[in-house]
Chains A and B, each alone.
Chain A
Amino acid sequence: MSLATTPEIAPRSWANRREGKRRKLAQIEPWMNGKILPGRYIIEALERLLAPGDKVVIESAQKAADFLSRSLAKANPKILHDLHIIIAAISRPDHLAIFEQGIARRVDFSFAGPQSLRVAQMVEDGQMEIGSFHTYVELSARMFVDLIPNAVLVCAQMADREGNLYTGANTEETPAIIEAAAFRDGLVIVQVNQLVDTLPRVDIPAGWVDVIVEADRPFAMEPIQTRDPGEIKELQVLTAMMVIRGIYERHQVISLNHGVGFDTAAVELLLPTYGTQLGLRGKICRNWVLNPQPTLIPAIESGWVESVHSFGNEAGMEQYIAARPDIFFTGRDGSLRSNRVFCQLAGLYAMDLFIGSTLQMDGDANSSTVTRGRIAGFGGAPNLGSDASGRRHSTPAWLSLITSDSPTVRGRKLVVQVVQTFKAGGVPTFVESLDAVEVGKAANLPIAPVMIYGDEISHLVTEEGIAYLYKAEGIEERRAAVSAVAGVTSVGLKATAKRTAELRCKGLVAFPEDLGVRPSEATRSLLSARSMKDLVTWSGGLYQPPARFRSW
C-alpha cells in the first residue's frame, strides 16, 4: 500500500476560452482577408462572434467606436440578446438602441452626460439594468478582475495590412481595453478610419488584434474640454483671481489637473495676465495633467507651462501640439500620445492639486452632478478629486496641508471645488440634500451616487470667498465654513456674522479682501484671450477650432 495516493480527478480542459475564441473566429473565416473583414459582413460577424451573456466592451469616451455600436444595434435580438455591456460613456443614441432592442440588458459604466435623461427612463422601464457607476479608471481596472471581457469593440485611426494599429492623438483607453481582451482570449474587434500600407507609428501590435473593419465614416469624437473664452463671466474672473492668490500662490501648487468648465478655463486665461503681475510665473502651475485644451495656449505661449500629459485630444489642436513637442507627449510622427489610464494614475498619485466644479453641494460639502431625473455619472472627477492615501512622496504643496504635529503625519493632495452659489435662473448650487440621494433610491443603487465626498475636499471656492476646509476641526466647523461662503442659499443663510468672523480670524474662511483680491479688477479685459479667435491668434494660427466654435 502506498502512503501517497493520487486523488481521482476528472480530466478538464484549461483552455476553454482559447478554444471558444478559435471556434468563433473559424465561423467568420470565409469572409476574412487576413485580419481584415469587409464592412458589409459586420452585423452577421457580430452575431457569430458574440453570444448571449457575453461581457462586451464598447469603446466610448471622447472617441466612440460608433460604426461597431451602430452595427451591434442592428443585430438580430433572437440570436444576440442579454449581453452585458461595459462602456465608459453612454453618449450616443445607438448605445441606447442596443438596450431597447433587447440585445443587451446589463450595463456597467462611468458617464452618461447627453443621454442621462433617457438612461434614467430606461432603468425605470426595466430596459436597462445598472451594474454599478464607476470612475473611468475604476472601470478599466475591473476589466482585469471581475468584468473581464469576452469581446471588445474599439476604434483606431488607421490599420496596416498586417493588422497593426495607429490610434493617433486620441489613444485614450484603447490600449487598456485591448490588453484586457487580447491576453485573456477575448476577441479584439477594431473599426478603423483608414487602411494604409505604412502607419505613422504603431500603437497596438497586430498580434493583439483579431478583426479589423473599415468604418463607413471616421469614428465619432467630442471636444469635451474645449471652452469658448467668450462665455466666461466676470464672476468667474473673480473666483479665478481668488483661486490663484488664495490657493495656488499660498500652497505653491506646481503640478495640477483642471476639471472641465468655465471656472477653471478662467484660471488658465488669467495666468499670463494676473498671475504674471503677481510674479508667479515659473513658481506655480508648471506640470499639468490635462487634455490639450485651447484655453491653456496663452499660458504655454507665455512660458508658464513645462509639461502636459493628456487623457485624450481636443479636436483642432493637432497642428499646435505637433509644433510644441517640448510641452506635450508626442510620437516621433509629431502627433499627440494620450492615454487615459496613465493620465488618471498621474492625477491620482502625482498631482499637488485637483480643481473642478459640480452641479450640487450639500452642507457637509458632499457634491454630485447627478440631479433629479438624470443618471449622469462622473467620468474621472472622483479619482482626480480624491486624496490617494497610498502616496508616499512629498512636495511643498502636499506638505502644506499638514495640520497636526504627530510624528507620523502625512501630507494631503489639494482637492478644490469651485462653484457659484447660484446657477443661472436662480437655481441654488448649495442644497439641504443632494438630488443624488433620491436618484440613487429610485435606481435601486446600493449607495447614493456622490461625486466627491465632503471630507475629501480641502478647499471650497465661491464668489463669496474661500473655505479652507482642511483646517476644520470636526464636522460642525466644516459645516460652518461651508455655510460662510454659500451666499444666500438655504445652506448659506445658516451662517451668522459672529461665527463667520471667528472663522475668518482662525483662517478657515477668507473673503476677497482677506486675499488681496479687488472685485473691481474682475473684468473680462483681465482674460488673456476673450474669444476663440484670440486663442487662434495666440497659437500663431496653428489651433483650428471645430466649426461649432467658429463665429467668423
Chain B
Amino acid sequence: MEKLSFEYPASAKASRKAHVGVVGSGDLEILLEPSDDAKAHVTVLTSVTGFQSTWKAVLDRFFERYQGAARIDIHDFGATPGTVTMRLQQVVEGNK
C-alpha cells in the first residue's frame, strides 16, 4: 500500500457529496465531499507502489479542467490511468 497526497487551487465549492467506482482489481472507488477552503485535496491510497509521477500527471491534467473545492479520497486497486480519469470525470459530473 502507498499513500499519496496532492493539492490543487479551486474556484468554486463542489455542490454535493458523491461516490463512484468499484472496489475490485483493476478498478478504484472515489469519494468526494465539498471543501470550504477553496482547494481540492486529493488523497490516494493505492495497492500498487511506485507510480507517484503517473498519479501526479493524471491529477494535474484533470485539475486543469476541474475547479471544484473538494476533499477527494481515492481507493485504488491497480486501475489504469484511463480508468482513473474516467472515474474522476464521473464523480464530478454535474458537481461543479
B82:A487 contact, CB within 8 angstroms = yes
Question: A442 at interface (Cβ–Cβ under 8 A)?
Answer: no
Question: A406 at interface (Cβ–Cβ under 8 A)?
Answer: no
A422, B82: Cα distance in complex, Å: 7
B54:A233 contact, CB within 8 angstroms = no
| CB contact list, A485-543 vs B, under 8 A | 487-488, 493, 497, 512, 518-520, 522
User: Interface stretch among B8-16, B36-44, B57-65, B67-75?
Assistant: B57-65
A423:B86 contact, CB within 8 angstroms = no
B-side contacts of A487, CB under 8 Å: 58, 61, 81-82, 85
B86:A238 contact, CB within 8 angstroms = yes
Contact partner of A520 (CB less than 8 A), chosen from B48, B64, B93, is B93
A426, B61: Cα distance in complex, Å: 17
| CB contact list, A196-240 vs B, under 8 A | 233-235, 238
A497, B65: Cα distance in complex, Å: 10
B-side contacts of A518, CB under 8 Å: 93
Scan B77-96; emit 1 where CB is below 8 A from any A CB, else 0. Answer: 01011110110011001100
Most buried by A among B48, B78, B82: B82
Scan B1-43; emit 1 where CB is below 8 A from any A CB, else 0. Answer: 0000000000000000000100000100000000000000000
User: Assuming the A-B contacts A488-B61, A522-B86, are A423 and B80 also in contact, with contact meaning beta carbons closer than 8 angstroms in the complex?
Assistant: yes
Contact partner of A497 (CB less than 8 A), chosen from B58, B64, B81, B90, is B64
Question: A463 at interface (Cβ–Cβ under 8 A)?
Answer: yes
B90:A422 contact, CB within 8 angstroms = no
A233:B93 contact, CB within 8 angstroms = no
B80:A235 contact, CB within 8 angstroms = yes
B14 to chain A, nearest CB (A): 15
* Interface range, A side: 20 to 34
B83:A233 contact, CB within 8 angstroms = yes
A235, B82: Cα distance in complex, Å: 7
* Chain A, residue nearest B89 (CB): A519
Question: A135 at interface (Cβ–Cβ under 8 A)?
Answer: no
A239, B85: Cα distance in complex, Å: 13
User: Assuming the A-B contacts A488-B58, A493-B57, are A519 and B81 also in contact, with contact meaning beta carbons closer than 8 angstroms in the complex?
Assistant: no
A497, B78: Cα distance in complex, Å: 27
Contact partner of A488 (CB less than 8 A), chosen from B64, B81, B86, B89, is B81
A488:B83 contact, CB within 8 angstroms = no
B-side contacts of A420, CB under 8 Å: 80, 82
A518, B92: Cα distance in complex, Å: 11
A521 to chain B, nearest CB (A): 9
A271 to chain B, nearest CB (A): 21
A235:B83 contact, CB within 8 angstroms = yes
* Chain A, residue nearest B91 (CB): A520
B-side contacts of A424, CB under 8 Å: 26, 78, 80
A516, B78: Cα distance in complex, Å: 29
Which 9 A-B residue pairs are closest in the complex by CB-CB distance? A488-B57, A463-B82, A519-B89, A422-B80, A520-B93, A420-B82, A520-B90, A519-B90, A422-B81
Q: List 27 A-B pairs, Cβ < 8 Å.
A: A233-B26, A233-B83, A234-B83, A234-B86, A235-B86, A420-B80, A420-B82, A421-B80, A422-B82, A426-B48, A426-B81, A462-B82, A463-B82, A463-B85, A463-B86, A487-B61, A487-B82, A487-B85, A488-B54, A488-B58, A488-B61, A488-B81, A512-B89, A519-B86, A520-B90, A520-B93, A522-B90
Contacts beyond the supplied A235-B80, A422-B80: 16 A-B pairs with Cβ under 8 Å? A234-B83, A235-B82, A420-B82, A421-B80, A421-B82, A462-B82, A463-B82, A463-B85, A487-B61, A488-B54, A488-B57, A488-B61, A512-B89, A519-B89, A519-B93, A522-B86
Query: Using a CB–CB distance below 8 Å, which chain B residues touch chain A?
Result: 20, 26, 48, 51, 54, 57-58, 61, 64, 78, 80-83, 85-86, 89-90, 93-94
